Amino acid sequence: MRQSGRTRVAVDAARASASTLERRGIDVKGELFRAVLLFCVVIGVVMLATLLIYVTIAGWPRLDVNLFTQMPSTRDPQTSGFLPAIVGTIYVMFGVLITTVPIGVSAAIYLEEYADASKWYNRFIETNIQNLAAVPSIVFGILGLAFIVRGPWGLGFVAFAGSLTLMMMVLPTVIIASREAIRGVPSTLRQASLGLGATRWQTVSRQVLPVAFPGVLTGTILAMSRAIGETAPLLLVGATTFVRFLPEGLFEGAYSVMTVQIFQWAMRPQEEFRTLAAAGSIVLVALLLLMNSVAIWLRNKYSREY
């Protein structure tokens, strides 16, 4: 290629400036900024670590088998346990899972694959899903009390009412995560499938969803871990009851969950119950960390495939 006059001038200038490439003292502003950022990271990590260490020390004496196998008792903290709360949590989370995943994934498929973004109602739905994700959880509790426990559904204070309330809360998370996963599926795959005469539904169910699956799964686990740690909305829809028996089912009988049980033990004046609450917290935190790790592992495992 022939060099124009201007190019030659530019090249000469670049060569000349190479002699001034050496460091000129310390960049004070840059270093300061770096220090502030590092400080913020340290605060976060230190706080989390303190919390974990504190809870572990406080709860260690009661981290025993009784914790998992015994009914709660207000009289004897030594043999008191979380059994009904654990079972209740499993019930509630099962209810959340079976409602959130189909609804959330279907909504995401609609918005990504079918919705015509030029229609006002589709844009309206989109914006409101974003908004819904920002609603404080207690509001969902009130909604659950008014419409699910009482009102039109009238399920009563049962585990499934808790499930539906939490479902409303985490649905936006699942929808948003699933949409991202679906959007990440290369469009060449859709074209290949449609080009072979597959219907839109065949394309979605056989090509798009399998590829999007790890992303959907990751979003679901994160949503579940958010739901499992939630207390406030559940207090409103029945989980307050102090239960000394296992829940009878999803649709009948009183229930309790881990977080509410922890809350109740922590409110008692006696030291032994506080210890019990801390032990319960360890279990919950361990479970949350495990779920999040699985989510991160899944994301890393599948993120490099395309």
Q: Which two structure tokens, joined as six digits, stand for 133?
A: 């994700």
Distance between CA atoms of residues 129 and 206, nearest Å: 27
Distance between CA atoms of residues 107 and 54, nearest Å: 42
Q: Is 237 in a helix, a strand, or coil? A: coil
Is the CB of 136 or the CB of 210 nearer to another protein? 210
Is the CB of 8 or the CB of 206 nearer to another protein? 206
Least Å distance, CB 185 to another protein, is 10
Q: What is the contact mask toward another protein in residues 47 to 76, using x (rule: CB under 8 A)? A: ------------------------------
Distance between CA atoms of residues 104 and 178, nearest Å: 8
Is the CB of 54 or the CB of 306 nearer to another protein? 306
Distance between CA atoms of residues 246 and 196, nearest Å: 54
Task: With CB under 8 A as the rule, give the number of residues binding another protein.
Answer: 21
Q: Is 250 in a helix, a strand, or coil? A: coil
Distance between CA atoms of residues 290 and 84, nearest Å: 22
Does residue 249 bind another protein (CB under 8 A)?
no
| DSSP for 78-109, written as a single string | GG---HHHHHHHHHHHHHHHHHHHHHHHHHHH
Does residue 206 bind another protein (CB under 8 A)?
yes
Least Å distance, CB 177 to another protein, is 21
Residues between 146 and 205 that touch another protein (CB under 8 A): 186, 188-199, 202
Does residue 2 bind another protein (CB under 8 A)?
no
H helices within the chain, ranges in order?
5-17, 28-59, 65-69, 83-109, 120-132, 137-143, 159-183, 187-195, 200-203, 209-228, 232-236, 258-266, 271-303
Among residues 125, 132, 138, 211, the one that binds another protein under rule CB under 8 A? 211
Does residue 303 bind another protein (CB under 8 A)?
no
Is the CB of 46 or the CB of 192 nearer to another protein? 192
Residues between 71 and 130 that touch another protein (CB under 8 A): 116, 118
Segment 45-53 long-range contacts (CB within 8 Å, at least 24 positions apart) = 52/285
Q: What is the contact mask toward another protein in residues 250 to 269, using x (rule: CB under 8 A)? A: --------------------
Least Å distance, CB 111 to another protein, is 15
What does the binding site for another protein look like in residue numbers (CB under 8 A)?
Answer: 116, 118, 186, 188-199, 202, 206-207, 211, 305-306
